[in-house]
Amino acid sequence: MSLTKWIVGLLLCLLIAAGFWTARGDRDDAAVVAALQRRRAGDAIEKSTAVTTVHRLTDQVIADGKQISQGWVVQVRDRARPRIKLPARPTARGGFADDAPRSAGREREPGLGFVGADACAECHRERHAGFRETGHYQTSAVCTADRVLGPLQPPGNQLQTDDPSWSIRMQSEDGQVAQVVQLLDWRFPIPMDVIVGSGKLAQTFLFWQQDALYESHVSYFTKTQMDGSGQWLASPGFEAVDANYARPIRVECLECHVTYIAKKEPPNRFHRESAIWGISCERCHGPGQQHVEFHQQTPSQTKAKFIVHPQDLSRQQQLDLCAQCHSGGFKFRQQPFRFRPGDDIDDFHKLYHPDSEDTGVHTSNQLTRLKQSECFKQSEMTCTTCHNPHQLQRGDLVAFSKACLKCHSALQCKQKTLTPVELAADCISCHMPRTVNVDMQDMVTKGLEVSSIDHFIRVDRKSDLAPHASR
C-alpha cells in the first residue's frame, strides 16, 4: 500500500470516529441515567467530568451540581419539575455531604463593644422587660419550637402544593425545628435555626450550612384566612413550583435584623456565634460594653457614663437613628454595624430611592414619607413623638391618637358623622391610611393582602382602606 493511500485511509478512519463520538455525545444524558441506576444511593459517578456532578439519592431521585451556579438541584430523575435547590450536595440519608461541626467561641471584631440587650437588664429591668415585647427586639431570634407561630403538628403544618410527588412539613424533631422536604422516597430535613420577623406580618426562617447563612423556602404568614388564622406559604419572591433553599442571606439583610454579627467572607459567611439577634438597645444607645463594665466596677456612680441618651441628640441625629432601617433600601458606604448615635447616616448608607413613595416591608421608607407631612414640617416632631421604643404599641390606635391630640383637637375634625369621642380614639385610620406593600404583591395571588401604615400624615378621604369612610 502506498503512503498516499495509507494517509487517506487514516483520515477516513478519523472522520468516522469523530462522527461516532459526536453521535455518542447526543446520548450522554441517557448514559448518565443508566449509570445512575447501577449505583447505590449517594455514590458518585466518576467516569467523566460531566458525570461527577450527578449523584443518585434514591432509585428515582438524583442531585445535580451543574444546573445552578452556586448549589445543587434535587429532582426526580426523568422530570424537570419540581426542583429542590440546596446550597451544597445532599446525601441520601439527609444532611449535607460537607457538613462541619459548629465553630466555638464568640468571635467578634475587637473594639466594637456590642454586648446585647440582656446585659442591660441588671440595672434597667423594667425597661428591658417592656422592650423584649417589641417588634424591634423580636425581629430576629434563635429558633425554638415555642417561638414559631405556625403549627408544627398536622394538619396545619404542611406547605400545600399542586404536585403530590413533593411536600414540605414543618415539625420539631429531637428538639430541632425543621422544614422536612419530601420528594417521592427521599426525605431531607432543613433546620430552622433563626427566626426573622416579629410575626406582625410573617415569620421567615434562616438556616446555617457550616458558616454560611441561607433563607428557607417556607414562611409562616399570620392572619391569611377569613377566620384570622395563618398559613405556611412560599417565602416572598420564591416560586411555588420549586423549593428554594439556596438563597444567601447577605449582610445588607442583617444590618436591619440583628444588632451585630461578624462577617467572614461575602456574600453570606459569618462568625455564627458572634450574632446578637434582634434590634436591641445598642442600635440607639451605642455599644454598651464600656458602659456596663464601668457601672459594674463602680456601682456608686449613678450618672450614666459611656452611653448615649438619644434625647440629648439633635432632631436630625435622632431621626438618623431610625433612618438606619426605616428610610428604604441602601448600599454600604462603610463597613456594616459601624454607625453610632450622633453620626450622620448619609456617611454610612447610600439610599437607592431616597424619594420613593412606595410603601412596603423592605422599602421601609417610613421616614421619607413622614417628612412630606405638614405635621413634620411645622413642628419639631421625631419618630419618638408617636412611638415609644421601649413598649409594644402595635395596634394601639388610642395611644397613637393621643400623640395627635397633643397638637390637634377632635373638635376640629370635619368628619361630622362621628362623635368627638370616636374621633379621639382613632386618628390613624383616616390620616395615615393603610396601603398594600409593593414588595409583597406576589403574596396577593396566595390569598394574602399585606398592608402597612403609610407615614405620610394627611387628609385622605379617597382611601378604601380607611374604616371611617364607610360609616
SS3 265: strand
**pLDDT band per the 50, 70, 90 thresholds, residue 118:** very high
How far is Cα 183 from Cα 333, in angstroms, rounded to an integer? 44
Q: Which one has a higher pLDDT value, 190 or 469?
A: 190
In sequence order, the 6+-apart residues with CB closer than 8 A to the CB of 157 are: 150, 151, 169, 170, 171, 232
- Mean pLDDT check: name the lowest of 81-95, 142-156, 230-244: 230-244
pLDDT of residue 471: 35
Q: What percent of the chain has pLDDT over 70?
A: 79
**Residue 196: CA atoms inside 13 Å, Cβ hemisphere, count?**
21
Instruction: Determine the straight-line distance between the first and last CA of the chain, rounded to whole angstroms.
Output: 106
CA atoms within 13 A on the CB side of 458: 15
pLDDT at 145: 96
Question: What pLDDT was estimated at residue 411?
Answer: 85
**Which set of grid coordinates corresponds to residue 342?**
450622633
Contact indicator for 437, 462 with CB cutoff of 8 Å: no
pLDDT greater than 80 at residue 316? yes
- In the predicted model, what is the mean pLDDT of residues 226-244? 83
Binned at pLDDT 50, 70 and 90, residue 22 comes out as very low
Strands (E), 105-200: 140-142, 158-159, 166-173, 176-183, 186-191, 194-196
pLDDT of 249: 97
- Is this prediction's pTM over 0.85? no
State which amino acid sits at residue 16.
I
What are 263-291's pLDDT values in tens digits?
999 999 999 999 999 999 999 999 999 99
- The top-scoring range by mean pLDDT among 89-103, 380-394, 401-415 is 380-394
Identify the band that residue 452 occupies on the pLDDT scale cut at 50, 70 and 90.
confident
Asked if residues 319 and 364 have their Cβ atoms less than 8 Å apart, the reply is: no
Residue 27 in this model has a pLDDT that exceeds 50 = no
Cα separation of 429 and 427, whole Å? 6
Averaged confidence pLDDT in the chain:
83
CA-CA distance, 62 to 72, in Å (whole number)? 10
pLDDT digits (tens, 9 = 90+) for 167-189: 999 999 788 999 999 999 999 99
Write out the DSSP string of 62-89. Answer: EEESSSSSSSEEEEETT-S--EEEESS-
What are the pLDDT digits (tens) for 57-97?
Answer: 999 999 999 899 889 999 999 899 999 999 999 999 888 98
Distance (Å) of CA 101 to CA 194, 271, 462 = 18, 13, 58
> Alpha-carbon distance 218 to 181, whole Å?
11
Q: Which pLDDT score, from 0 to 100, does residue 30 have?
A: 43
Identify the pLDDT of residue 386. Answer: 94
Sequence-separated (6 or more) residues with CB below 8 Å from residue 426 = 397, 398, 401, 468
Q: Which residues lie below 8 Å from residue 435, measured CB to CB, with a gap of 6+?
A: 359, 451, 452, 454, 465
Contact 165, 184 (CB under 8 A): yes
Q: 388564622: which residue's cell?
A: 229
Look up residue 428 and give its amino acid. I
- For residue 38, pLDDT over 50 is answered with no
- Give the model's pLDDT for residue 259: 96
In angstroms, the CA 428 to CA 60 distance is 57
Residue 239: predicted pLDDT = 81
Percent of the chain with pLDDT over 90: 58
SS3 category, 236: coil
**What value does the mean pLDDT take over residues 112-140?**
94
pLDDT score at 459: 82
pLDDT at 203 over 90: yes
Phi-psi region of 58 (alpha: psi -120 to 50; beta: other; left: phi over 0): beta
Q: What are phi and psi of 196, to 5 degrees?
A: -120, 130
* Alpha-carbon separation of residue 149 from 201, 203, 229, 269 (angstroms): 11, 8, 11, 28
From 101-105, 367-371, 375-379, the region with the lowest mean pLDDT: 101-105
What is the pLDDT at residue 69?
87
Helix (H, G, I), strand (E, B) or coil at 336: coil
- B/e letters for 362-379, b = 16+ CB within 10 Å, e = fewer, are ebbbbbbbbeebebbeee
Say which amino acid occupies 95: G
Which of 274, 261, 248 is closest to 102 using CA atoms? Answer: 274
Three-state secondary-structure class, residue 384: helix
Is the CB of residue 233 less than 8 Å from the CB of residue 218?
yes
